[in-house]
Chain A
Amino acid sequence: MITSVYENEIIRSVLRGKSERFEALVSLYEKNVYNLALRMVGNPEDAEDMTQETFIKAYKSLATFRGDGKFSVWLYRIATNVCLDFLRRGSHCDEVSLSAENSDGEETSVDIPDVSFEPEKLLMRKLTREDISRGLAELSPEMRQILILREINGLSYAEIAQVLGTEEGTVKSRIFRARKKLCAFLSDGGNISANSPSNNKQGGAKR
């Protein structure tokens, strides 16, 4: 888990004052950061803003990056924080506060403790991009974040633990729960929704 020689050299020369070299880092990671943001905030306009904010923050704090971890992991950490901040101060407050309340006892956070789903139903469907987006939107931001880091950015559990400042064991169980919940949504055509109060009863009764 170390930053590549190439990236380190770019970082070094940016820090020496050659800011134009920063473009090489942008070109390496803009797609991943943009997609992370797109999945987190759910629309292209905000995702573009989040991506820009992420890279500007990274540029400004580049001197604090220590070369002992991957640059990508460091960058995704900034990106997810930028997105979560945005979601918290935006109109999505009600959705976020549910999980924020429970942020200490993270294991007890918003999801239904025992979501079940019918895999056969899910497998019969053709999953479209639209389905996936709607499914992700159903998850709490924290659940979405962890699943995105794994599935879109391809981070290992150890790297995700680093980004979130948590234990690998926590990462493991959170990913599992997020995945199960997403599958439940997708197999059910959207009837399971823990976050939306109107659906709470229905979801609870189902299980």
Chain B
Amino acid sequence: MKSCEYYIEKISLLIDGELSQEDRDELRAHFAVCSECAAVYKAFSAVSSSLGNSLEEPPEQLRGAIMGEVMRLDRAKKKKQITKLASYAACLGVVVFAGYKIMNLEPADVSADVETQPVAKSAVSTSVPEVSEQLDTAEAENTAGVAVDGNRYSSSAGINADKAIIASATNEMFTIVNPQTLSWLDTLLTPVEGSNSAPQDFIDYFASFYCGDTCIAVDIYVEDYGVFADFGEGPVPVAGTPADFTDLFG
């Protein structure tokens, strides 16, 4: 016969769901013959649920205060980076331009040469992370140079992608390999003229388009008044309607 002290330790594990089925059965059998341990179990449970149920709402202003400080730090950091970047302005100009080319995906005419394209893309893909970080920085303070490439939105994300993985804000995952669906998604994500009013809400879908070895990330915002996609330079209105996206992803 094991001592009650042995069982009492196990009770703590039972409460925390850290006990094997076998141990659970053994413990329950002991409770049937030992009212003392059964009472300890009840007491532990009572305290445990009081603790778990005692959650309080944080003060309303808290989130704003945190984000205020975050954005202040963000501005300070970017200012510092901009100063640093300015001293490299000359060589950066080239990189930024190349970066935009990549972020915007290839202009339509590139798609003609299907066979060589993956090679070409993978060759440049290694420089993407670095470049894109600098881009965000540059974009934040100064948009001069951003619109240099007249074709920047002439082709959209899905072009030539052989796979897309979409994650929704509700944490659902969609993997799309069907060429027709990919092409449809490409159509939906084609930037259009329209209000540039920024989306108010959080991102609804994170899309990753795989073109050979290159992965292009697009953030999609579905708002009541339209759909926006962020190809790395801030959200722009796109051709798809909110209903189109509901049809695709539910």
Contact = CB atoms under 8 A, between A and B. Distances in A.
Contacts of A26: 63, 66-67
Interface in A141-181: 147, 150-152, 154, 156-157, 172-173, 175-176, 179-180
A187 interface: yes
A100 interface: no
B167 to A, nearest CB: 4
B161 to A, nearest CB: 18
B9 A182 contact: no
Interface string A28-45: 001100110010000010
Given A23-B63, A31-B58, A119 B39 contact: yes
A94 B66 CA distance: 31
B187 interface: no
Contacts of A137: none
A30 B203 contact: no
A22 B70 contact: yes
A22 B206 CA distance: 15
Contacts of A55: 66, 70
B6 to A, nearest CB: 12
Interface in B55-98: 55-59, 62-63, 65-67, 69-71, 73-74, 78
B71 to A, nearest CB: 6
A156 B17 CA distance: 8
Interface residues on B, range: 35 or more
A164 to B, nearest CB: 15
Given A16-B133, A60-B73, A123-B43, A35 B62 contact: no
Contact of A56 (B16, B70, B137): B70
Contacts of A105: none
Interface residues of A, number: 58
Nearest to A130: B54
A31 B43 contact: no
Contacts of B67: 20, 22-23, 26
A131 B54 CA distance: 11
Interface in A109-143: 117, 119-120, 122-123, 127, 129, 131-132, 135
A48 B40 contact: no
Given A16-B136, A127-B47, A187-B43, A157 B16 contact: yes
Nearest to B43: A119
Contact of B47 (A16, A17, A31, A179): A179
B16 A175 contact: yes
Interface in A1-31: 4-6, 9-10, 12-13, 16-24, 26-27, 30-31
Given A19-B74, A56-B70, A182-B47, A48 B62 contact: yes
A51 interface: yes
B219 interface: yes
8 contacts: A9-B167, A17-B74, A20-B74, A24-B202, A26-B66, A119-B36, A122-B43, A175-B16
Interface of B: 8-9, 12-13, 15-18, 36, 39-40, 42-44, 46-48, 50-52, 54-59, 62-63, 65-67, 69-71, 73-74, 78, 132-133, 136-137, 140, 167-171, 173, 202-203, 206, 217, 219
